[in-house]
């Protein structure tokens, strides 16, 4: 039987390692796919001039306050901190002439969280620094850099402010739910202007999907997983650094794999974005408020770039914080609600505990939540969204229905480690029938 097995089947680990090395930014990065991801890159003055102002103590000053302060020069390698401190970075960006006619992005990696602001005080996008799976450090500075002849032969200069928060995605603990380290610090790793090679990035994401599909090998009997690994291997064979045509050929190989269908009876699955933001967990309330703005401004950017993209968010309390603290961003959210891209869900004031509160408390959650959605978005939420509560009161179906919602969504039922819940989709009958 082994005679008829391919090399990929005989040695899946070798091929999986080859795929990982081909995509790595730390190994063989001068000759692998990582070397093709950017068609241009500059750093330092005059193209990226950085200045900094540090807020006092643990204050979180507004843009209006921060923009009036005195800034001092700073370079890559600067250390932000201690834990929960705020730093504002002013970035003066000069687009080089060779980037003309191309989309230019700023890569800014503070190793922690940050918000990109315009020179006039508009919150533009969140930044998640570090090197984890949740990393998001690029901001589109311009979709097309003008030529010098269009600017009277003066280089294009753009000023951005970056509000740096000295905390990670999950606070400042040494692990996911560890106690916070009061003296944690974060290094500014990257501040570059780059030109994305969109075709190379598309190939990267194709390979990432194939890599995930093949990850369980050789412990799975899945034919599709073996096909994914073989497809990735064939794409790598096709690639040659410096020849863009080979990227197109490699992606054509991947396209054949992705075009395969399992049959007409298969379900059609739709994906809608969501970022679950705990109102109170591993960070102060004031950091929750900034997390909301960072997260939802990023979604606004995605919606502008991809009109088909939809995003859902819950908790009237979080919308209210956005309305009060980031009024222009809240108005943008309302516009996206009207066009159907931003979907307010939850029906309640916040994602509450459903074990200890009495029925009166649960009723008030929906009363205040639905009143808020109706006032600001023109209609009540149809989806009761409670994905992260450990237990659900039997009173909920009656209250949810009376509040005008029709559906209940959670994922915590799958966490039960004693009695396995028997259903994923079901009709929940309340105490009143």
Is the Cα torsion angle 14, 130, 169, 305 positive or negative in sign? negative
Give yes or no for a contact between 143 and 103, defined as CB atoms under 8 angstroms apart.
Answer: yes
Determine the straight-line distance between the first and last CA of the chain, rounded to whole angstroms: 60
Is the Cα torsion angle 306, 313, 124, 209 positive or negative in sign? negative
Query: Residue 128, exposed/middle/buried by CB under 10 A (0-12, 13-18, 19+)?
Result: buried
Closest CA to 231 of 215, 202, 211: 211
CA distance 13 to 370: 53
Strands 383-385 and 407-409 turn out to be: parallel
Neighbouring residues of 95: CB distance < 8 A, sequence distance ≥ 6? 47, 104, 141, 142, 145, 155, 156, 157, 158, 193
| 388 flagged as catalytic | yes
Active-site residue identified among 17, 212, 215, 388: 388
Q: Which two tokens stand for residue 409?
A: 């969504």
Return phi, psi of residue 141, to 5°: -75, -45
CA distance 214 to 226: 7
CA distance 11 to 21: 16
Is the Cα torsion angle 189, 191, 196, 197 positive or negative in sign? negative
Give yes or no for a contact between 233 and 19, defined as CB atoms under 8 angstroms apart.
Answer: yes
Is the Cα torsion angle 189, 195, 199, 200 positive or negative in sign? negative
Q: Is the preceding omega at residue 46 within 30 degrees of 0, hence cis?
A: yes
| Catalytic machinery residues | 388
């Amino acid at each position: 039987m082994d005679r008829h097995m391919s090399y990929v089947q005989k040695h899946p680990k070798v091929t999986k390692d080859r795929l990982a090395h081909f995509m790595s930014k730390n190994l063989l990065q001068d000759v692998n796919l990582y070397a093709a991801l950017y068609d241009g890159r500059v750093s330092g003055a005059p193209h990226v001039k950085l200045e900094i102002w540090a807020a006092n103590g643990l204050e979180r000053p507004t843009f209006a306050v921060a923009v009036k302060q005195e800034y001092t020069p700073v370079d890559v390698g600067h250390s932000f901190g201690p834990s929960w401190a705020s730093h504002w970075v002013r970035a003066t960006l000069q687009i080089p002439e060779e980037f003309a006619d191309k989309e230019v992005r700023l890569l800014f990696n503070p190793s922690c969280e940050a918000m990109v602001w315009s020179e006039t005080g508009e919150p533009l996008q969140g930044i998640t620094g570090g090197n984890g799976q949740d990393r998001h450090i690029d901001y589109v500075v311009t979709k097309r850099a003008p030529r010098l002849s269009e600017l009277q032969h003066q280089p294009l200069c753009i000023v951005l402010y970056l509000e740096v928060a000295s905390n990670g995605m999950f606070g400042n603990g040494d692990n996911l739910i560890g106690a916070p380290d009061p003296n944690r610090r974060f290094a500014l790793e990257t501040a570059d202007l780059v030109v994305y090679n969109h075709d190379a990035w598309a190939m990267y994401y194709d390979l990432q999907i194939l890599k995930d599909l093949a990850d369980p090998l050789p412990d799975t009997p899945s034919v599709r997983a073996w096909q994914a690994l073989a497809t990735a291997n064939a794409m790598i064979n096709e690639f040659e650094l410096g020849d863009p045509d080979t990227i197109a050929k490699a992606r054509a190989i991947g396209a054949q794999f992705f075009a395969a269908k399992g049959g007409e009876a298969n379900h059609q699955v739709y994906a809608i974005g969501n970022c679950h933001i705990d109102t109170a967990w591993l960070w102060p309330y004031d950091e929750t408020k900034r997390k909301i703005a960072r997260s939802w401004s990023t979604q606004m950017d995605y919606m502008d770039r991809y009109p088909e993209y939809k995003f859902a968010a819950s908790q009237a309390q979080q919308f209210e914080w956005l309305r009060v603290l980031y009024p222009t961003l809240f108005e943008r959210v309302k516009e996206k609600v009207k066009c159907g891209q931003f979907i307010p869900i939850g029906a309640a004031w916040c994602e509450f505990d459903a074990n200890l509160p009495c029925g009166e408390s649960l009723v008030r959650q929906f009363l205040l939540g639905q009143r808020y959605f109706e006032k600001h978005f023109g209609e009540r939420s149809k989806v009761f969204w409670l994905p992260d509560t450990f237990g659900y009161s039997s009173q909920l179906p009656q209250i949810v229905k009376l509040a005008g919602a029709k559906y209940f969504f959670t994922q915590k039922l799958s966490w039960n480690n004693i009695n396995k819940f028997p259903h994923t989709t079901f009709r929940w009958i309340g105490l009143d029938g």
